[in-house]
Amino acid sequence: MTDTNFSQSSSSIGLNISRVGAEEKLQGKALFANDVVLKNALCLKALRSELPHAVIESIEVQRAINSPGCVAVFTGRDIPGKNRYGLINKDQPLLADTKVRFVGDPVALVAAVSEDAAQTALSKIKVEYKELAAVFDPEEALAPGAPLIHEKGNLLGKRLIKKGVPDLAFQKADIVIERKYQTTFVEHAYLEPDAGAAFVDQSGRITIYASTQNPHYDQVDVAKLLGLPENMVRIIQTATGGGFGSKLDINTQGFLGLAAYLLKRPVKMTYSREEAFLCTSKRHPLKIVYKSAANKDGRLLAIDVKIIGDTGAYASYGLAVVTRSAVHATGPYEVPNVHVESVFAYTNNSIAGAMRGFGVPQMAFAHESQMDLLAEALAVSPLEIRARNILRLGSTTATKQTLTASVGIGACIEAIAPHYEQIKKSIELTKTKNLRGVGLGCMMYGIGNTGVQNPSTAQVELQPDGTITLFSGAADIGQGSSTVLTQIAATELGLDSNKIDLVTADTGMTTSAGATSASRQTYISGNAVLDAVSKLKEMLLTEAATMLRTGRASLTLKNGRIENISNNALFVTLEQVVRKAVTEGIPLKWQGFFDPDTTPLDPDTGEGNPYATFAFAAQLAEIEIDVLTGEVTVTKVVAAHDVGKAINPDCVKGQIYGGVAMGLGFALMEEFAPGKTVSLKDYHVPTFSDMPDVHAIIVEDAEPTGPYGAKGVGEPALIPTAPAILNAIADALGSRIYFLPANLERIMKAIHSGTSKPLKIKLMV
């Protein structure tokens, strides 16, 4: 997609340029959602159910309306459009209209002149409920006679992956290992709670400032809730203090839009930390029964995996996790015979949705534990068994997709191998009072959404003064997409990155770039940007060739002008080209588009090409365990990631460091218990003092369809960390933990109980 006529000296690719927006954040000038000040804005507060499952018989709001400072109280019957929204399934009401399905379901919305007045009004709303039986376990939810959470039943979705003849392979195998793994709900715990503000502009359009990962998705859902055309809703992403998936869901946006539309007054809403814990989405807890077969040489022959997931009261991104967890069940290994069944159920628990990895972190915990168990049984090193089974060029995945390029898992394993051997030797030679261990974790991750259209758009405009403006709907939530997109545009146009003006994530000024999720923005939106600037570049070179009366192939873009490659005294400026283009009616704004080449998965077999490219990684973790207290200290992590091409190496490493921190929490301490975990006082996240020495290694196995060869690293950075830590714990203890997180209690139990025996469960559908 690139033209060779660009100045390498002006290339920003591979440079550690300053992150876009960093200076404003460091100086405290960045405008976060709660910083938005609208004159005379009303404060919004939601009344939320304290029951997990109940019919709403009546809602009495008059006493609240009469309370001092209360302007209005809204219920489900006040919603002018369709009172349902959702990222995939439209199954969630903005305000519960018939019944509540989890503790935290909103039933009324108060608008008042102050937070105190809003809180007082909330206390005066009276809701009469008829309590219903609730179900909190996904297997129980799928059993006959279970309480119905939704009219269509409690089954959210099911995905089958079939390849080869697993039953025959298991019969012929030299070794078969089966274990049950389990993970729990995990809270996103971003620094900035959900917030936003809204007003009605002079044209009657609802304008919403929001902390969001997907402004164009928000626009669609808010418009439907209000019964308005999409162009009558404008979403502007503010600086966003983390998202990790939860800010893909509409949180404050629907409430803000409703109140602003009905009252025609500015409004503002900010969740408390307790409210964010109560009602925002979590990581899906999974139960995984994983059976692996291998021959005596350590070659994988087959897997049989049964997954049951809890999506909570509403679907959110659950259907995406149903499929992605199944597709990634093999990990980065070639397995000739595969059977995977993934089943997710509704329960009356908190909503589970998108969280960094979409089910792959849970699956990596299982498949990497299995690899170590096989290695132990076969007396093969954990490093060697992985090297024998990894995907290579020409390999086929579980969905029978043939990999034709950019398969860097082998290079990742090679990169960490010397570190692994060195730590192993150190552990053998050094005696300490603590137990020490080292473990490996590998992963593959499909970039973008799974087997569906997944497009992005972008525009680039040449201004009259010769400056360049780039427009992208991509929401930068701290991962650095704005920086990377700017570097791509600048390189293609032969400019320094600071010469590009950037407009992002405003539905009034940009077209959709899709959600900031699934590690998709560098690859997909990067390609859309490249497409747009390539069209502009083509026009510039063509017009300059006419003006200079020379061949187009002899020209290059460099430092804001088009010059002759062999004689830089022969040139025209971008401003001169603009003047000529304007007189001739030549467009100065160009649109870019990219949609990865994927195919849907067969509903019966899962066969298909769900992703155009995959990221790969290998990590190792070195740990120490205090046998008296059960405390685990992660002392070192080495993380090798195949990113295709690092557009900005420091941004890549920053993602790896953040991913390791999040993976450490997933492995050792983070556990959200619905109804018990109220705020950060009940929930442990890693702090600076918990962080190990992290050595990040960038592997670049270029992706031919990527912008300058790039793929992505956002979610891959997290995925191998917990598996590596759990394998290191097993290495140190000689016994294994099958339930995350491996907290102090589970560590102490493992110290005293020895190796667990195989477990089997039957999934009911």
| DSSP symbols for 552-563 | GGGEEEETTEEE
Q: Is pLDDT at 260 greater than 80 in this prediction? A: yes
Under DSSP, is residue 296 helix (H, G, I), strand (E, B) or coil?
coil
| CB distance 628 to 647 below 8 Å | no
Under DSSP, is residue 411 helix (H, G, I), strand (E, B) or coil?
helix
Distance, in Å, from the CA atom of 122 to the CA atom of 290, rounded to the nearest integer, reads 48
Which tokens sit at 16? 């550690």
Region of residue 549 (phi > 0: left; psi between -120 and 50: alpha; otherwise: beta): left
The owner of tokens 């050595």 is 695
| CB distance 305 to 339 below 8 Å | yes
Please report which confidence band the pLDDT of residue 753 belongs to, taking 50, 70 and 90 as the band edges.
Answer: confident
Q: Is pLDDT at 444 greater than 80 in this prediction? A: yes
Distance, in Å, from the CA atom of 348 to the CA atom of 399, rounded to the nearest integer, reads 33
Q: Is pLDDT at 6 greater than 90 in this prediction? A: no
Distance, in Å, from the CA atom of 25 to the CA atom of 739, rounded to the nearest integer, reads 39
Please report which confidence band the pLDDT of residue 3 belongs to, taking 50, 70 and 90 as the band edges.
Answer: very low
Q: What is the pLDDT of residue 367?
A: 98
Which segments of 13-132 does DSSP mark as H helices, in order? 22-26, 62-65, 115-123
Please give the angle made by the CA atoms of 140, 143 and 144, to the nearest 5 degrees.
Answer: 140
Alpha carbon 228 to its chain centroid, in Å, reads 29
> Which residue, among 445, 433, 592, 431, has the nearest Cα to 527 in the 3D structure?
592
DSSP codes joined into one string, 517-548: -TT-IIIIIHHHHHHHHHHHHHHHHHHHHHHH
The owner of tokens 């999974």 is 286
Alpha carbon 345 to its chain centroid, in Å, reads 21
Under DSSP, is residue 281 helix (H, G, I), strand (E, B) or coil?
coil
Query: Hey, which residues does 73 pair with through a beta bridge?
Result: 110
Under DSSP, is residue 673 helix (H, G, I), strand (E, B) or coil?
coil
Give per-residue pLDDT as tens, 341-350.
999 999 999 9
Distance, in Å, from the CA atom of 717 to the CA atom of 534, rounded to the nearest integer, reads 31
Distance, in Å, from the CA atom of 335 to the CA atom of 317, rounded to the nearest integer, reads 28
Q: What is the pLDDT of residue 754?
A: 60
Q: What is the pLDDT of residue 758?
A: 42
Single-letter amino acid, residue 515:
A
| CB distance 267 to 39 below 8 Å | no
Which tokens sit at 554? 């002899």
Give per-residue pLDDT as tens, 203-249.
999 999 999 999 999 999 999 999 999 999 999 999 999 999 999 99
Which residues make Cβ contacts (< 8 Å) with residue 453, sequence separation at least 6?
595, 598
DSSP codes joined into one string, 349-410: S--B---TTTTHHHHHHHHHHHHHHHHHHHT--HHHHHHHHB--TT-B-TT-PBP-S---HH
Give per-residue pLDDT as tens, 269-278.
999 999 999 9
Q: How does strand 206-210 pair with strand 233-237?
A: parallel
Distance, in Å, from the CA atom of 78 to the CA atom of 160, rounded to the nearest integer, reads 42
The 8-class DSSP code of residue 95 comes to S
End-to-end CA distance of the chain: give it in Å, rounded: 47
Distance, in Å, from the CA atom of 327 to the CA atom of 404, rounded to the nearest integer, reads 18
> What is the Rg, in whole angstroms, of the alpha carbon atoms belonging to the chain?
27
Rounded to 5 degrees, what are φ and ψ at 481? -65, -35
Number of helical (H) and strand (E) elements in the chain, helices listed first: 18, 28
Query: Hey, which residues does 283 pair with through a beta bridge?
Result: 186
Q: How does strand 106-112 pair with strand 70-74?
A: antiparallel
Under DSSP, is residue 8 helix (H, G, I), strand (E, B) or coil?
helix
| CB distance 214 to 88 below 8 Å | no
3-state percent breakdown (helix, strand, coil) of the chain, nearest 5:
30, 25, 45
Under DSSP, is residue 513 helix (H, G, I), strand (E, B) or coil?
coil
| CB distance 601 to 323 below 8 Å | yes
| CB distance 285 to 234 below 8 Å | no
Q: What is the pLDDT of residue 430?
A: 84
Q: What is the pLDDT of residue 752?
A: 86
> Which residue, among 261, 349, 281, 277, has the nearest Cα to 44 in the 3D structure?
261
Q: Is pLDDT at 665 greater than 80 in this prediction? A: yes
> What domains does the chain contain, in order, with CATH numbers?
8-30+455-594 (3.30.365.10)
- The mean pLDDT of the chain is 95
Give per-residue pLDDT as tens, 183-202.
999 999 999 999 999 999 99
Q: Is pLDDT at 282 greater than 60 in this prediction? A: yes
Which residues make Cβ contacts (< 8 Å) with residue 185, sequence separation at least 6?
282, 283, 284, 285, 310, 349, 350, 352, 671, 672, 673, 674
Distance, in Å, from the CA atom of 354 to the CA atom of 324, rounded to the nearest integer, reads 11
Q: What is the pLDDT of residue 10?
A: 60
Give per-residue pLDDT as tens, 697-743.
999 999 999 999 999 999 999 999 999 999 999 999 999 999 999 99
